[in-house]
């Protein structure tokens, strides 16, 4: 029974991952990748863990729901940069 639950959980995770990336098959251009690293304030050698950490920190700072330093346009740029780098790291693996 435990194995059946474990296998179903894996299946759900794979389906979720596939659904997330569906329609996002295009790999970002090198120019988009470089700009995304600049937006997040990272070097182009940064690992995906560093990208994720920086995205979390910046999104907390600029999220429109926060009262201090909220900037929805900057938040959108940060989110788009993160999405580009997520695709970049996915396609390079």
Nearest to 74 by CA among 55, 87, 51, 88: 55
**Predicted confidence (pLDDT) per residue in 32-86, tens digit:** 999 999 999 999 999 999 999 999 999 888 887 876 656 678 888 999 999 999 9
Q: Please classify residue 81 by burial: count the beta carbons closer than 10 Å to its beta carbon, then call 0-12 exposed, 13-18 middle and 19+ buried.
A: buried
- Calculate the CA 32 to chain-centre distance: 14
> What is the pLDDT at residue 18?
62
pTM, 2 dp:
0.68
Q: Please, what are the domains in the chain?
A: 27-92 (1.10.287.110)
> What is the pLDDT at residue 42?
95
């Amino acid at each position: 029974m435990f194995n059946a639950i474990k296998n179903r959980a894996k299946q759900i995770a794979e389906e979720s991952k596939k659904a997330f990336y569906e329609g996002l098959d295009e790999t970002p251009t090198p120019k988009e990748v470089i700009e995304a690293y600049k937006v997040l304030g990272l070097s182009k050698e940064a690992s995906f863990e560093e990208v994720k950490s920086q995205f979390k920190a910046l999104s907390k700072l600029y999220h429109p729901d926060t009262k201090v330093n909220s900037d929805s346009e900057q938040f959108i740029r940060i989110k788009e940069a993160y999405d580009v780098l997520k695709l970049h790291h996915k396609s390079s693996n």
